[in-house]
Structure 1
Amino acid sequence: MSARRSASASGAELLLDEIREQPAAWRRLLEREEEIAELGGRLAAADPVLVRIAAHGTSDHAAAYAMYALRLLCGWTAMRDSMSLPLSYGAAAAAPGELAIGLSQSGETPDVVAWLEAARAAGATAVAVTNADEGSSLARAADGVVSLSAGPERSIAATKTYTCTLAALALLGAHAAGGERGTALAASLRETADLAESALPALEAAVLPVADVLAGTERLYSIARGLELATAAEVALKLTEVAYLCAKALTATSMAHGPVAALDRAFPVWAVAADDDTLAGVREAVRRARDAGAPVIATGPAAAALEGAAFTLPTPAAPDPLLSPLLSVLPGQLFARALALAKGIDPGAPRHLRKVTLAA
């Protein structure tokens, strides 16, 4: 272990412990499946004409995932809503017949709470998804609450609350879809937890040499398409807040519309490859990145399909494709920690940050 890597061991171990805890956290969430199923049934009966979701930071990436998951599971049109429109400009927060979902790990993010209160007052059904208890401000603003059961998250960088939020939203949507979908997805989540537990030790070791090679990196693009776009965004945020990179998430297709011009051998691309119809677009983006001289880090269940990558960090295929983002984010979480250590940064205590998000 290098001197730089050991210097930040205390904060690094705190973050690593919480990354490792994720499979157990998903299993704890499953202990609340009956509550989630009951809420899903109520939402299905309401049959919302539109789903609005509001969040910040990591939770906003979970909202991006929910746009896909709720559409694929329930056929609901979901959108990441603007909190500024109702709170700063006086626009209507929502309308009767709509569903408003507020995401906040702490349950105390002021503008998410205010937005959910406004949406509920406007006639929308309000749901809170939070790691806090039911006495939190967000829970009090809601008609229904999904408690993540992730346990205390002591590291500033959110890891287990992020993946628990993905799992909770998928379970909620699956139970709202009706039939056996909820039961089947719960079984798949149990299997996904087992897969993650098995994969983590090898991934922990695999990211270390990548971090050592890229320790001088200052910029990075994180790309994906579809469901995995949330993963790309979350990896970019983790690299920014933990390792102080200027990391930007892009759709694989949008990288070709201008951003590719910035690439060179000192500007890596983190590519998340899903084993679905989005793969072709990611492969083409990776080809463009290679042509520009950028080193590519290939991740995700279809990482092996990204030819010419400088590094490959594959993840297992999830038993249900909707759960793939729970696994594909793991290399990014671990790499952010490893890169911080390679740079001599304490990844457990990023500068200028505190846990509860306050209104801007």
Structure 2
Amino acid sequence: MSAAAEVLHDEIAEQPRAWRGLLARDAEIAAVAGALGALDPPLVRIAAHGTSDHAAIYASYLLRALRGWTVVRDSMSMPLYYGVPAARPGEVAIGISQSGETPDVVAWLTRAGEAGATTVAITNGEGSALAQVADHVLYVGVGAERSIAATKTYTGTLAVLALLAGHLAGRGPALAAGLASAADAADVLLGGLDAVVAPVASALAGIDRMYLVARGIELATANEIALKLTEVCYLGAKAMSATAMAHGPVAALDADVPLWAIAAPDGTLPAVTEAAQRAQEAGAPVIASGPAASELGGAAHVLTVPALDEPLLSPLLSVLPGQAFAWALARAKGIDPGAPRHLRKVTSAA
């Protein structure tokens, strides 16, 4: 195993410890929540790219579920290239960038502030350009992430968002306790995950395409796993809502194009179950993951994660099998998962 591959593997394992570190700074997050809660904005805009945009998907569900706010993942192109105002007075604009140096996210947040919005930066980069232009800063603070593929900065961002939303809803202590429990569950899960994903990676080493489906809050997980499989394993991996599977993509499924289905034990389960059944009818192998993975009958591979008492935190655990599988599949394909081709590290960290 290369040194770079070891770094990625180590950073996957570091995630529970990183979440616990955030709990020590919960008061800082509570203070920002207090300032935002007093505004009660008519609209929350979020801008981000890549992994950070997947965290924005999570945020859009979380802030709606816990506080009732309307959230949009906003277009940066409209204000930056077409002259449209980035925001309106009274709104909240959140820029998410692991490095804090993504130029268009910085420019968008700057313009949103100039347009009268209250601005928030969520970043792992202390003293970064994004932090300097924001009214409020929430530092992910998971330490330097050296691997090219982001892992701990992604789940660290989810954890920050969960604590923020918890305080906004008056449930800060409950979400903090839930995060501590999630870290404990993740330690146990990660302890045996390599052995669980290794045979799945071996069985699927010949694939070059995959679809991933979920609904609701786990849609962030589907998108993040798809990105990891694309950048680390060079798969043509695409994530979508489970209900979108029937609108064309099911035609591409066959024995060589698996479906990864992320199942949660809530009202979204029937849609995910139906997508898995459609895939099986098309002859595609199904990989079932998530806390309700065992509910998807007939799956070729099952990667179950523990169900949490606070289900809104489930995406922190649900992404872990995907990260571990991407690392294992790359190795099964003869690819160095720590040194994906054509990529350079975007994320810098304090």
Q: Output the CA distance in 1 between the equivalents of 2:195 and 2:113.
A: 47
Counterpart of 2:266 in structure 1 is: 276
Q: Which runs of 5+ in 1 are unaligned?
A: 1-7
**What does the per-residue CA deviation read over 1:7-43, in whole Å, with 9 as the maximum and x for residues that have no partner?**
x442221111000000000011111100000100110
Q: 1:175 aligns with which of 164, 167, 172?
A: 167
Counterpart of 2:112 in structure 1 is: 119
The one-letter amino acid of 2:337's match is P
Q: Output the CA distance in 2 between the equivalents of 1:81 and 1:353.
A: 26
Q: CA deviation at 1:356?
A: 2.0
Q: Where has structure 1 moved over 3 Å in runs of 4 or more?
A: none
Q: Which runs of 5+ in 2 are unaligned?
A: none
Q: 1:346 aligns with which of 328, 336, 340?
A: 336
Q: Output the CA distance in 2 between the equivalents of 1:105 and 1:54.
A: 12
Counterpart of 1:59 in structure 2 is: 52
Identity %: 67
3-state SS in 2 of match to 1:329: helix
Q: CA deviation at 1:274?
A: 0.5
Counterpart of 1:326 in structure 2 is: 316
The one-letter amino acid of 1:224's match is A
- Kindly tell me the number of residue pairs found equivalent between the two proteins: 348
8 Å Cα contact 1:223-1:229 kept in structure 2: yes
TM-score, normalisation: structure 2: 0.98
Counterpart of 2:27 in structure 1 is: 34
Q: 1:196 aligns with which of 186, 206, 219?
A: 186
Q: Output the CA distance in 1 between the equivalents of 2:137 and 2:269.
A: 35
Counterpart of 2:98 in structure 1 is: 105
Counterpart of 1:86 in structure 2 is: 79
Q: CA deviation at 1:309?
A: 0.2
The one-letter amino acid of 2:202's match is D
Q: Output the CA distance in 2 between the equivalents of 1:11 and 1:311.
A: 28
Q: 1:128 aligns with which of 121, 127, 130?
A: 121
Q: 1:299 aligns with which of 289, 301, 313?
A: 289
1:143 aligns with 2:151: no
Q: CA deviation at 1:332?
A: 0.2
1:212 aligns with 2:202: yes
**What does the per-residue CA deviation read over 1:100-126, in whole Å, with 9 as the maximum and x for residues that have no partner?**
000000010000000000000000000
8 Å Cα contact 1:233-1:248 kept in structure 2: yes
Computed over aligned residues only, the root mean square deviation of the Cα atoms, in angstroms, reads 1.0
1:249 aligns with 2:239: yes
**What does the per-residue CA deviation read over 1:34-73, in whole Å, with 9 as the maximum and x for residues that have no partner?**
0000100110001111000000000000001100000011
8 Å Cα contact 1:192-1:319 kept in structure 2: no
The one-letter amino acid of 1:248's match is K
8 Å Cα contact 2:225-2:319 kept in structure 1: yes
1:240 aligns with 2:259: no
Q: 2:154 aligns with which of 162, 169, 173?
A: 162
Q: CA deviation at 1:174?
A: 1.1
The one-letter amino acid of 2:20's match is R
TM-score, normalisation: structure 1: 0.95
The one-letter amino acid of 2:118's match is T
**What does the per-residue CA deviation read over 1:308-348, in whole Å, with 9 as the maximum and x for residues that have no partner?**
00000000012211100000000000000000000111111
8 Å Cα contact 2:263-2:272 kept in structure 1: yes
Q: CA deviation at 1:238?
A: 0.2
1:153 aligns with 2:156: no
8 Å Cα contact 1:108-1:138 kept in structure 2: yes
